[in-house]
Amino acid sequence: MQRTEERTAAKPYAGHGGTFKNTIADIDTPDPSVVYNNGYYYMTFTHNGTDVMLMKSRTLDFREAERKVVWYPPVDTMYSANIWAPELQFIRGKWYIYFAADDGRNENHRMYALEADTADPMGSWTFRGQIADETNKWAIDGLVLELDDKLYIVWSGWEGDVNIAQNTYIAPMSDPLTISGPRVMISKPDLDWERAGGPPYINEGQAILQKDGRTFLFYSGAGSWTPFYSIGMLTLESGLDPLQPDNWMKAPQPLLTMNEETGVYGPGHNSFTTSPDGTEDWIVYHATSGKHDGWNNRKARAQRVLWSEDGLPSFEPALALDTPIEAPSSSGVFRAEHAREDGGALLFDSVTASVETAAPLLAHYVNESGKAAAAAVTANGTAAGEVALPPTKPGATGYAFANAPVPLAEGGNTIGIGGCGAGCRVLAVELPRFEAEAALTEGGAVAETNPFASGRGAAELPAGEEAAVRFLNVRVPASGTYTVTIAVSNATGAEASAAVRANGGKAATLTVPPGERSRFEPLALQLKLAAGANEIELRGATGALKIDYLDITAKD
């Protein structure tokens, strides 16, 4: 099972694509703060108000992420209780977490900071004390703004000592731990939408997005305990002083608000991150699925930031939980610079699987030696096949599949790929798997939770022509015929089949023998796929089937 494809830099291949569905975490994750750094996404959030937890994931899907509480507060201090909205930031080469806490009395909420002891944010942290301006008023949701080589801190605070309104303040900093000047109010909740559910009236949950010299300061308004919680925006044009309130222009309407049609309520307290290749901006926010959920059931969700021709950001309306979303560009591509080196081999850690399985591996490489090369593949230290790496043309990247699926254990895995000799190097690896629960379902087909399935989910495809499971954004590096392996369960007691089409073309028949419930058998067929994005559809099942995943490998 071997295939090598090349593609020039004119239209670079950025990974196998695929889709995901919100939410991106299976536990409550209010006030999500997400950062992409050195091959990983990190998320922190309000973790029951008791400590500071970090999660680490290769992709924006945090359901199988590594989790670690990195800091517990001591008892009987002014910062021992009600730990709210930790904000993870990488500033001038160091990791910081800013958070708010009190002694059990809300009026004593103030901002504090942790500093990482190592380059790895999953390591140990040191408490660095309170981050306070000269007024020392109630303060939450602090984060640092870097602008024109200067530092500022932005937060939500009270003007006095009574909980009437939360305003947006900014102050200069001499370093990431020290406020060096007076606070300046740059926004207060004076618009109708900001005052919904009050008093108190709310500006909080600030987040920063910068592009082409402009600084966009997002914030959440309306009561966080209401479905009206929404995301607004302030804009600072290039070159203007952020400490001058009149330089900030407030959008009159929120950019993201509840969507009763899609069942999304109280979207807010967001952060921004990027796709792994840096070509896209993404918003991560929390929301609930019930109009009366209040502070319950707040889970992190993600959508891509859209940019207008005049350089302003916007978002699609808050998306339903059953809406497939194209994965961030280059998601699931594990690059060599983000691997560990061991004896000439590249080791990619934290490759997660929800069940024991085996997945295809596609290597990105350059081989300008003029000779055929090969690289050994390992999984958790055990040999798992090899990848043949034919010569590539100057300036071109080659793509080659391993000669066997890579076995993955439940939990975290380490995938290794060996050296391939002089003039040859592996640039990245990826596992081209597409989960059926993330596909588009229609006509009675539905996604479902299934603990025995890859990704802990599957899609149920009932019999009939109307029902369909459609895998969107299936990307391959070059046009050609590929082996498509579909894992299917057929508990009907009789043989069943379904038609499989790529891009609306000629149907291939997938014949599924009877088997056990929730036992998914991988069945292979060949399909012609185009370079770039494809759609693969299963329709017309003759009996009820459950679809686990779809894998792409080379033609035999």
C-beta of residue 325 within 8 angstroms of C-beta of residue 21: yes
- The three-state (H, E, C) secondary structure of 486-498, written as one string: EEEECCCCCCEEE
What is d(CA 30, CA 46) in angstroms, rounded to the nearest whole number?
A: 6
Between the CA of residue 321 and those of 63, 189, 467, 506, what are the distances in Å?
Answer: 15, 30, 19, 31
DSSP, res 239: T
A 10 A CB-CB count for 326 gives 16
What is d(CA 366, CA 424) in angstroms, rounded to the nearest whole number?
A: 6
What is d(CA 154, CA 143) in angstroms, rounded to the nearest whole number?
A: 6
Based on the residue annotation, tell me whether 349 is a catalytic residue of this protein. no
Q: Residue 138 corresponds to which tokens in the numbers above?
A: 């109630």
Terminal Cα-to-Cα distance of the chain (whole angstroms): 5
What is d(CA 384, CA 401) in angstroms, rounded to the nearest whole number?
A: 13
C-beta of residue 555 within 8 angstroms of C-beta of residue 4: no
Selected catalytic residue, list 87, 102, 133, 204: 204
What is d(CA 9, CA 195) in angstroms, rounded to the nearest whole number?
A: 51
Selected catalytic residue, list 28, 31, 133, 551: 31
Based on the residue annotation, tell me whether 466 is a catalytic residue of this protein. no
C-beta of residue 105 within 8 angstroms of C-beta of residue 90: no
Question: Which residues are marked as active site?
Answer: 31, 204
